[in-house]
């Protein structure tokens, strides 16, 4: 039998999971962009990487507040208080779309630099294939 205390503990863990999951996504994307800064020396890739890092930090902070405070006060922490919530579909669609868009921008960023490498065509294709390995990972769906 599930008690009220057990349900509250689970809801608190779910809330913490949502916040940590979004933070982990942003940190992972930042790590890719930092790697691009380290590997590529061309101005285009470095500039796009820098702008994307700035954007991701701003978006990450906004996303954490949006997800963390979609309901005020936080019902998982204060169930006895009545509050106001944003429609959860709007929050999840917005964060999902933004994550997909930033994923593709990060994926496309090194392609011009790879095309300009002085390598044989087969080697360029293999390097591009290595960058494509990231598409094999299927993250778990948003809760």
Q: How far, in Å, CA of 17 to CA of 15, rounded?
A: 5
- pTM confidence score: 0.77
Quote the pLDDT of residue 5.
80
- Tally of CA atoms within 13 A in the half-sphere of 56 that contains its CB: 26
pLDDT at 131: 77
How many CA atoms, within 13 angstroms, populate the side-chain half-sphere of residue 43? 0
Query: What CA–CA distance (Å, rounded) separates 29 from 58?
Result: 13
Find, among 115, 133, 113, the residue nearest to 124 by Cα: 115
Contact 113, 42 (CB under 8 A): yes
Local confidence pLDDT in tens for the 143 residues of the chain:
878 788 778 877 877 888 888 899 999 999 999 999 998 888 999 999 999 999 999 999 998 888 877 777 665 556 666 667 777 788 888 888 998 999 989 988 988 888 888 889 999 888 888 877 766 766 666 55
Burial pattern 118-139, b for ≥16 Cβ within 10 A else e, equals eeeeeeeeeeeeebeeeeeeee
Number of C-beta neighbours around residue 8 at 10 A: 13
């Amino acid at each position: 039998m599930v008690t009220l205390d057990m349900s509250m503990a689970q809801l608190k863990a779910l809330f913490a999971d949502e916040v940590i999951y979004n933070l982990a996504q942003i940190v992972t994307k930042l790590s890719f962009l930092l790697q691009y800064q380290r590997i590529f020396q061309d101005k285009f890739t470095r500039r796009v990487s820098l702008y994307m890092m700035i954007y991701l930090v701003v978006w990450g902070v906004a996303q954490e507040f949006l997800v963390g405070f979609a309901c005020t006060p936080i019902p998982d922490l204060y169930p006895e208080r009545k509050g106001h919530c944003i429609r959860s579909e709007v929050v999840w669609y917005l964060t999902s779309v933004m994550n997909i868009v930033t994923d593709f921008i990060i994926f496309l960023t090194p392609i011009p630099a790879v095309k300009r490498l002085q390598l044989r065509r087969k080697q360029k294709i293999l390097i591009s294939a290595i960058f494509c390995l990231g598409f094999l990972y299927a993250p778990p769906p948003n809760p």
